[in-house]
Amino acid sequence: ALPNKVRLVEVGPRDGLQNEAGVISTEVKLELIKRLEDAGVNYIEAASFVSPKWVPQMGDAKEIMQAIKAKTDGQEGSVTYAALTPNVKGLESAIACGVKEVAVFGAASEAFSQKNINCSIEESLERFKPVMEMAKANGIRVRGYVSCVLGCPYDGEIAPEKVAEVAKALYDMGCYEISLGDTVGVGTPQKAKEMVRAVSQFVPVEKLAAHFHDTYGQALANIYAVLEEGISVVDSSVGGLGGCPYAKGAAGNVASEDVVYMLQGLGIETGIDLNKLISTGQYITSSIDRPNRSKVGLAHSA
Ligand code: HMG
Ligand code: MG
């Protein structure tokens, strides 16, 4: 059975923009975030506290998160603003900006772990432990990502058992939700289902999220498949922006507009205003001079 409600995690300002080579001003990023809020999005991954040498586009994480803090201080927030923190240094910077929600990111593939965060899977899990402790001590919630859950650009096929092992490790160390990333967008629906079944033997399915890139045009089909398996949290990026700097050729995340359109058609509630989301996709893709990769967005601009 399909869920009645789906929670959307908007990763556009982070995953969507991290791979852009050109300078995107902090103002444009903040305007994007504001428009997403106006559209009713209640979870926005806004920045990454990673090395600016590795990912220059996220170099203004501090400015972004401070501007958000200034805006939300003293208000009971209904919107969650999150940032990636790969290590203690990243978390310290996030805490200094008043961030209340972060994410650590590991991988089910050794080669990708090395390319992305410069350490093995095991080392990454060790590195996350002090992050988890410091987060807990500061009342910060931590989401966990597993990359390459349906294939790796370097290692090829990935066993569902390996995904389950890394997801379990992140869950056991205190991540409240595990987002399963098809980083390269190579997955297909039956494989996605089998992977989710393998993971949900160790992590309750209500604690899992789907994070699918659309390189091979399979993301919506994969999302539908995993909704049938009980997943009810979906990561997406407005305008279908994005890609990972350490997964060459990987396209953007599934477009948020397309996910919301599909969910509306299925009678599944998201709390999001589709028309405002479409305008937001048009705003950001035209601001950074990128083609709009949301089919729904394109249909509405024709
Ligand atoms: P490293 O070089 O092994 O780290 O990088 P290090 O501890 O040896 O430090 C080296 C330098 O980086 C030092 O500076 C540190 O201060 C600095 P230097 O002394 O040379 O001037 N440094 C930092 N600076 C700012 N913030 C920090 C930080 N940490 C160290 N937090 C590191 C290790 C993890 C930092 C590096 O590999 C890195 O930044 N990687 C970024 C990877 C990334 O952002 N990838 C994209 C996001 S993941 C993704 O897109 C997948 C996802 O969407 C899910 C999916 O689709 O599958 C989540
Ligand atoms: Mg991603």
144: DSSP letter? E
Residue 248 pLDDT > 90, yes or no?
A: no
Residue 302 pLDDT > 70, yes or no?
A: no
Give the pTM.
0.97
Whole-number Å distance between alpha carbons of 275 and 266: 17
Closest residue CA from atom 30 of ligand 1: 51
Token pair for 214: 């659309």
- 15-24, 82-91, 109-118: segment of lowest average pLDDT: 15-24
Neighbours of 286 (CB within 10 A): 13
Average pLDDT estimate for 217-231: 98
244 in catalytic set: yes
Whole-number Å distance between alpha carbons of 201 and 33: 36
**Half-sphere exposure for 241 (CA within 13 Å, toward CB):** 26
Residue 249 pLDDT > 80, yes or no?
A: no
What's the confidence (pLDDT) of residue 48? 98
**pLDDT tens, residue by residue, 143-168:** 999 999 999 999 999 999 999 999 99
Decide if 206 contacts 175 (C-beta within 8 A): no
List the one residue out of 106, 112, 121, 188 whose CA is nearest residue 153: 112
Closest residue CA from atom 11 of ligand 1: 51
Cα 32 to chain centroid, rounded: 16
Where residue 228 falls among pLDDT bands split at 50, 70, 90?
very high
Tell me the three state secondary structure of residue 106. Answer: strand
Decide if 274 contacts 258 (C-beta within 8 A): no
- Cβ burial 242-254 (10 Å sphere, 16+ → b, else e): bbbbbbeebbbbb
Whole-number Å distance between alpha carbons of 49 and 204: 29
**pLDDT tens, residue by residue, 26-51:** 999 999 999 999 999 999 999 999 99
Interface predicted TM-score (ipTM)? 0.98
Among the bound ligands, the one closest to the CA of 106: 1
Whole-number Å distance between alpha carbons of 126 and 123: 5
**pLDDT tens, residue by residue, 70-104:** 999 888 778 999 999 999 999 999 999 999 999 99
Residue 62 pLDDT > 90, yes or no?
A: yes
Decide if 255 contacts 245 (C-beta within 8 A): no
Mean pLDDT of the chain: 96
Pocket of ligand 1 (CB under 6 A): 15, 18, 48-51, 54-55, 84, 86-87, 89-90, 105, 116-118, 145, 147, 181, 183, 211, 213, 244-246
Token pair for 269: 């509630």
Average pLDDT estimate for 201-227: 98
Whole-number Å distance between alpha carbons of 149 and 230: 17
What's the confidence (pLDDT) of residue 76? 77
**Helix H or strand E encompassing 289:** none
Q: Pairing relation of β-strands 43-48 and 80-84?
A: parallel
